[in-house]
């Protein structure tokens, strides 16, 4: 045996199925030959972007809290969610409005949540999906727990967890991937690599050439996908989820996209990146790309576009109005869900929620 030998080899593949012009870069997957499927993806991305614009408008006028836009990243969220089965579980970060909407979270619920009302997390639709995770990366472990639950119950279900490029630096994510690997969990991690973590560019986040290779540390496969290509996103996620549900274990998908907006409505990205960089990335954005593809395939035209925009705007406006018309809950509701039942030992504390004594002020 020689003094030195290769003990292990790895590679990370990159896939894009539609180029920036919306032209197929090779054979497309089956669903991409189904017009209804393609149009559904397109509608979902447009809805997401319309919601986004409305949320920002509401925030700017003081009627919504700080909001994280998903502008330019719609294909990541929609493509991944579209690959899920209804009884899979989504464990999202805070920029996956498109995924939540696809899963059946309502616009009204999203507005409520971002408007500062926890009822927005009590999804009427996907009851098992997690609410968004504000502490970056911490939810990756919940996804591992959910996937472990499926495995222990021998259910053919999978968990899908999404987080950003910044999140990959967190130990939680590394631990979650390691659990997923060693226990062959039905769990797909999607990294929304939008190039930035607030002001920190991807290159300052890690020396790893790709973020997909975070998977290597956990002994699971990792791949890169063009995150502005919703067809590639859905195809890759579908394959990974199918493998996961079949007992084949976990998978990491790094979706390469770009954050076209500020980090949140509280951020001013012009402090740390140039307009030129942003403009350039508009050429790659996913909504126009799929529209061009649909147009090229004769599935879409100006009239369809106008009708959709009109319909979507109306839907979003209606939900926004309903949100704005929803009164806040009574203060006592704060204690309603702290425990399954408010402890008798703390009964007196609830006096705090009684209406302020009239006629006095501080």
Partner 1 sequence: MAALTLVQSVNLALARAMADDPRVLVLGEDVGIDGGVFRATDGLLARFGPERVLDTPLAELGIAGLAVGLAAQGFRPVAEIQFSGFVYPCIDQIMNHAARLRTRTHGRLSCPMVLRMPAGGGIRAVEHHSECPEAMFAHMPGLRVVVPASPARAYGLLLAAIRDPDPVIFLEPTRLYRAVREEVADDGAALPLDRAFSLRPGADITLIAWGGMVPEALAAAETLAAEGIDAGVIDLATLKPLDMETVLAEVARTGRCVIVQEAPVSGGLGAEVAAGIAERGLDQLLAPIRRLAPPDVVVPAPRLETAYLPDAARIAAAARETMAYT
Site residues, Mg ion (CB under 5 A): 164-165, 194, 197
Q: Check binding of 152 to a second copy (CB under 8 A).
A: no
Instruction: Say if CB 233 and CB 291 are below 8 A apart.
Output: no
Please tell me which residue in 33, 60, 272, 350 is annotated as part of the active site. Answer: 272
Q: Which residue has the tokens 């990294």?
A: 191
Least CB distance from residue 204 to ligand TPP, whole Å?
11
Active site residue 263: yes
Nearer to a second copy, 6 or 351 (CB): 6
Q: Structure tokens of 189?
A: 């991690």
Residues 58-77 that bind partner 1 (CB under 8 A): 65-66
355 binding a second copy? (CB under 8 A): no
Q: How far is the CB of 259 from partner 1 (least distance, A)?
A: 14
Residue 205: other Cβ atoms inside 10 A: 19
* 10: CB partners within 8 A, 6+ apart: 213, 216
Among the listed ranges 159-167, 319-327, 328-336, 343-351, the one in contact with ligand TPP (CB under 6 A) is 159-167
**What element of type H or E holds 252?**
strand 251-256
User: Which one from 97, 234, 263, 289 is the annotated catalytic residue?
Assistant: 263
Q: How far is CA 275 from CA 80, 107, 271, 272, 281, in A?
A: 29, 31, 10, 10, 10
Residues in the chain: 362
Q: Whose Cβ is closer to a second copy: residue 89's or residue 212's?
A: 212
Catalytic: which of 97, 108, 202, 259?
A: 259
Report the site for ligand TPP in 167-206 (rule: CB under 6 A): 167, 192, 194, 196-198
Residue 49: Cβ within 10 Å count: 23
- Compute the distance between CA of residue 345 and CA of residue 288 in angstroms, rounded to an integer: 59
At residue 148, φ and ψ (nearest 5 deg) are: -65, -40
Q: Is 257 in the site for a second copy (CB under 8 A)?
A: no
Nearest Cα to Cα of residue 217 among 175, 253, 248, 258:
175
The listed partner (ligand TPP, partner 1, a second copy, none) that binds 35, CB under 5 to 8 Å by sort, is: none
Task: List the structure tokens of 38.
Answer: 């393609």
- What distance in Å separates the CA atoms of residue 99 and residue 92, rounded to the nearest whole number? 8
Q: Does 166 bind ligand TPP (CB under 6 A)?
A: yes
Which x/- pattern over 70-109 shows residues binding ligand TPP (rule: CB under 6 A)?
A: -------------------------x--------------
Smallest separation (angstroms) from partner 1 to the CB of 63: 12
* 145 belongs to the binding site for partner 1 (CB under 8 A): yes
How many residues interact with ligand TPP (rule CB under 6 A)? 16
Selected binder of a second copy within 6, 344, 348, 351 (CB under 8 A): 6
The binder of 174, among ligand TPP, a second copy, Mg ion, none, by C-beta within 5 to 8 A per type, is: a second copy
Q: How far is the CB of 100 from a second copy (least distance, A)?
A: 27
What's the per-residue H, E or C state across 38-96? HHHHHHHHHHHHHHHHHHHHHHHCCCCCCCCCCCCCHHHHHHHHHCCCCCCEEECCCCC
Task: Give the residue from 135, 131, 222, 210 showing the smallest Cα distance to 165.
Answer: 210
Q: Which member of 20, 63, 148, 206 binds a second copy (CB under 8 A)? A: 206
**One character per residue 264-293, x = contact with partner 1 (rule: CB under 8 A):** --xx---xx---------------------
Strand ranges of the sheet holding 159-164, from the earlier edge strand across to the other edge: 89-91, 159-164, 187-193, 251-256, 222-226
- Beta carbon of residue 190, minimum distance to partner 1 (angstroms, whole number): 17
Q: Is 131 in the site for partner 1 (CB under 8 A)?
A: yes
Query: Residues interacting with a second copy, by CB under 8 A?
Result: 1-17, 19, 25-27, 169-175, 178, 181-182, 184, 204-210, 212-220, 224, 249
Q: Annotated catalytic sites, by residue? A: 259, 263, 272
């Amino acid at each position: 045996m020689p003094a030195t030998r290769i003990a292990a080899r790895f590679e990370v593949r990159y896939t894009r199925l539609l180029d920036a012009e919306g032209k197929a870069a090779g054979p497309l997957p089956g669903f991409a030959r189904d017009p209804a499927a393609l149009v559904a993806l397109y509608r979902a991305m447009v809805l997401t972007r319309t919601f986004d614009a409305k949320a920002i408008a509401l925030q700017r006028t003081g009627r919504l809290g700080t909001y994280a836009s998903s502008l330019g990243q719609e294909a990541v969220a929609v493509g991944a969610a579209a690959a899920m089965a209804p009884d899979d579980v989504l464990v999202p970060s805070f920029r996956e409005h498109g995924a939540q909407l696809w899963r059946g979270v309502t616009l009204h619920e999203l507005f409520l949540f971002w408007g500062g009302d926890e009822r927005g997390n009590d999804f009427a639709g996907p009851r098992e999906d997690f609410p968004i995770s504000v502490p970056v990366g911490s939810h990756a472990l919940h996804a591992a727990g959910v996937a472990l639950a499926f495995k222990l119950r021998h259910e053919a279900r999978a968990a899908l967890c999404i987080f950003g490029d910044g999140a990959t630096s967190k130990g939680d994510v590394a631990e979650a991937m390691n659990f997923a690997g060693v226990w062959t969990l039905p769990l797909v991690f999607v990294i929304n690599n939008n190039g930035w973590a607030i002001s920190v560019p991807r290159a300052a986040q890690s020396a790893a050439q790709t973020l997909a290779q975070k998977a290597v540390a956990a002994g699971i496969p990792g791949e890169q996908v063009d995150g502005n290509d919703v067809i590639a996103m859905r195809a890759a996620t579908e394959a990974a989820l199918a493998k996961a549900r079949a007992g084949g274990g976990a998978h990491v998908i790094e979706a390469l996209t770009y954050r076209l907006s500020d980090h949140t409505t509280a951020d001013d990205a012009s402090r740390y990146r140039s307009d030129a960089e942003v403009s350039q990335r508009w050429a790659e954005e996913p909504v126009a790309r799929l529209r061009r593809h649909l147009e090229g395939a004769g599935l879409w035209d100006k009239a369809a576009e106008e009708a959709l925009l009109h319909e979507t705007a109306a839907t979003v406006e209606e939900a926004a109005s309903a949100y704005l018309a929803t009164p806040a809950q009574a203060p006592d509701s704060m204690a309603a869900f702290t425990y399954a039942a408010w402890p008798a030992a703390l009964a007196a504390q609830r006096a705090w929620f009684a209406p302020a004594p009239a006629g006095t002020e501080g």
